[in-house]
A and B are shown apart, each in its own frame.
Chain A
Amino acid sequence: MNPFAYSAPTDTDAALVAIQTDFNDSMPNRFLAGGTNLVDLMKADVMHPARLVDVNGLPLDAISETADGGLQLGALARNADTAYHPWVRTRYPLLTAAILAGASPQIRNMASNGGNLLQRTRCHYFYDVGVPCNKRDPGSGCSAIGGVTRQHAILGASSHCIATHPSDLCVALAALGARVHVQSARGEREIEFADFHRLPGDTPQHDTTLAADELITQITLPAEAAAFAAHSVYLKLRDRASYAFALVSVAAALQLDDAGRITQARIALGGVAHKPWRKPDAEALLHGALPHDALFARVADALLEGAQGQGQNDFKITLAHRAIIRVLQSAVVGTLTNRDEGDASAEESLQ
């Protein structure tokens, strides 16, 4: 690791000032939360901030109700505490399921919600400072194109970068329509989840629309998204059953009326693009319809429209298509939280 300066402010205003101290574009200062991504990337010399502003002492770790009945997740609440929180698992079980499908218990204990949003791609070439990478070194080229692409994007990629965003948590937040609250010395603003991450285009060095001096303070979940609690499933397909990043993941949340008709549907895909992938027009195909497999296949077609493999990851297109159908079949039946609920309740949740 390169030498860097460090401070650990205990209030937000001080942190917003500290992040600007001797700011240098080639070695930009960074906030430090759980460190599970940043420290790793600093060891690999992919990121080399001149200064770390440790935000673990800021009072931003609460999970509380918003005025309109939604939930507010502190940026510094840990992924594990978020997943197991009684309000989260009862109102937004999709989020519990997605978090518990990611990383390991140790990492979930360390990882913060804000840091999870800003984790960087797992593209091998991004990690290997010996080879060109437009995301790490703008203009140097993309080593993944024509290389090992098993993990790479099938949607929304560009000729400059074909990386995927590796988060599970973000896929659920995209489906639930979360908002990201950020603050800097210049003021506060709110970002719709769909606008938070971006597609690579010709500037893949920017993963998100967040500015370097902006701190994520909260993530809010709208009250109305709790209506999906009875029909929420997160399906993650990966090279081993646990502790691996997604090849393809699907978050599905449905609302059904008494006649069994789908009244509302949200679907987001992970592991396939530079951001969680949502298509409201594909979701709309389900609105007002009785669930059946041919319809689910049409939804999958619509979600994957324009999908293009890179050779080694062509299989992801078929895999994603099947995963979308399977997750919709499963969500019609009920909810899976990916928690170990013990014998009795596990049996119940399978009804």
Chain B
Amino acid sequence: MLTENHATATPPSPVTMAAPLYPIELTVNGTRHQFEIETWVTLLDLLRERMLLTGSKKGCDHGQCGACTVLSNGRRINACLALAVSQNGHEITTIEGLADGNQLHPLQQAFIDHDALQCGYCTPGQICSAVGLMREGEAHTTAGVRELMSGNVCRCGAYPQIVQAVSQVMGIAPAAQPEAPVRPTVVGTVLS
């Protein structure tokens, strides 16, 4: 495994007072990296500003959009709300780490095939989120996919195509027309 040492690179510092630096180690897309960082650096800022992995997007910086979704130890999280020091020792996968050489990840290919994007800004987060969704194994219907992809907002409104792309890769058949509910429905309930 490659080890790159980023400790000596001088990051642009937004503060004038000297702050203590904390050593951390992260495996990002299969490569181990060491950093010395200030406590307040988020995982998202570390990925984007230090490592120049700008696929993960900063849509809101408050956990409200999902554009920053990455996998940490295989689980999808919002990188904007994770302090990098708190991720010490974790394995991080970003959109840049999903393809195998020139071979796209099946979800990347499905997003192209289904035209599941317009501007593409939300797409890296959508795809990382879908990878996490598949690992969790909790979605079994298109309604389930839609609900469990709701942590990723798409300003362009490509939702129907996104649900189609993810469902296809998961082998979920397109939804039949839902029947009228037989009893009072709870909003947010997953009905298939």
Say yes or no: B186 contacts A234, CB within 8 Å. Answer: yes
Say yes or no: A236 contacts B187, CB within 8 Å. Answer: yes
Name the interface residues of A3-57: CB closer than 8 Å to any CB of B.
Answer: 3-6, 8, 32, 34-36, 39-40, 42-43, 52, 54, 56
What are 5 pairs between A and B in contact, CB < 8 Å?
A: A84-B138, A109-B132, A233-B186, A241-B188, A340-B138
Q: Mark B169-192, 1 if CB is under 8 A from A, else 0.
A: 000000000000111101111111
Q: Determine whether A176 belongs to the interface, using a CB cutoff of 8 Å to chain B.
A: no
Q: What B residues does A343 contact at CB under 8 A?
A: 140-141, 192
Name the interface residues of B8-29: CB closer than 8 Å to any CB of A.
Answer: 15, 17, 19-20, 22
B residues whose Cβ falls under 8 Å from a Cβ of A: 15, 17, 19-20, 22, 38-40, 42, 61-63, 66, 69, 75-78, 81-83, 85-86, 88, 129, 132-133, 136, 138-141, 143-144, 147-153, 181-184, 186-192
CA distance A78 to B48 in the complex (A): 27
Closest A-B pairs by Cβ, 9 of them: A104-B151, A340-B144, A342-B140, A242-B150, A1-B40, A340-B190, A6-B39, A106-B151, A243-B150
CA distance A346 to B62 in the complex (A): 34
A1-B40, A4-B39, A109-B77 given as contacts; is B187 within 8 A of A35 (CB)? Answer: no
Say yes or no: A36 contacts B190, CB within 8 Å. Answer: no
Say yes or no: A107 contacts B85, CB within 8 Å. Answer: no
Task: Please pick, from A1, A36, A330, A346, the residue contacting B192 in the complex, using a CB distance under 8 A.
Answer: A346
Between B19, B39, B148, the greatest number of chain A beta carbons within 10 A of the residue's beta carbon is seen for B39
Q: Determine whether A294 belongs to the interface, using a CB cutoff of 8 Å to chain B.
A: no
Task: Please pick, from B39, B61, B149, B181, the residue contacting A3 in the complex, using a CB distance under 8 A.
Answer: B39
Q: What B residues does A346 contact at CB under 8 A?
A: 141, 190-192
Say yes or no: A340 contacts B66, CB within 8 Å. Answer: no
Say yes or no: A36 contacts B81, CB within 8 Å. Answer: yes
A253 CB → nearest B CB, Å: 14
Q: Mark A240-252, 1 if CB is under 8 A from B, else 0.
A: 0111000000000
CA distance A105 to B189 in the complex (A): 15
Say yes or no: B186 contacts A3, CB within 8 Å. Answer: no
CA distance A26 to B34 in the complex (A): 34
Interface residues on A, range: 35 or more
Say yes or no: A110 contacts B129, CB within 8 Å. Answer: no
Q: Mark A40-80, 1 if CB is under 8 A from B, else 0.
A: 10110000000010101000000000000000000000001
Q: What B residues does A43 contact at CB under 8 A?
A: 61-62
Q: What A residues does B153 contact at CB under 8 A?
A: 243
Q: Determine whether A238 belongs to the interface, using a CB cutoff of 8 Å to chain B.
A: yes
- With both beta carbons as reference points, the residue of chain B lying nearest to A340 in the complex is identified as B144
Say yes or no: A110 contacts B81, CB within 8 Å. Answer: yes
CA distance A93 to B129 in the complex (A): 25
Task: Please pick, from A3, A54, A234, A327, the residue contacting B15 in the complex, using a CB distance under 8 A.
Answer: A3
- With both beta carbons as reference points, the residue of chain A lying nearest to B69 in the complex is identified as A106
Say yes or no: B183 contacts A106, CB within 8 Å. Answer: no
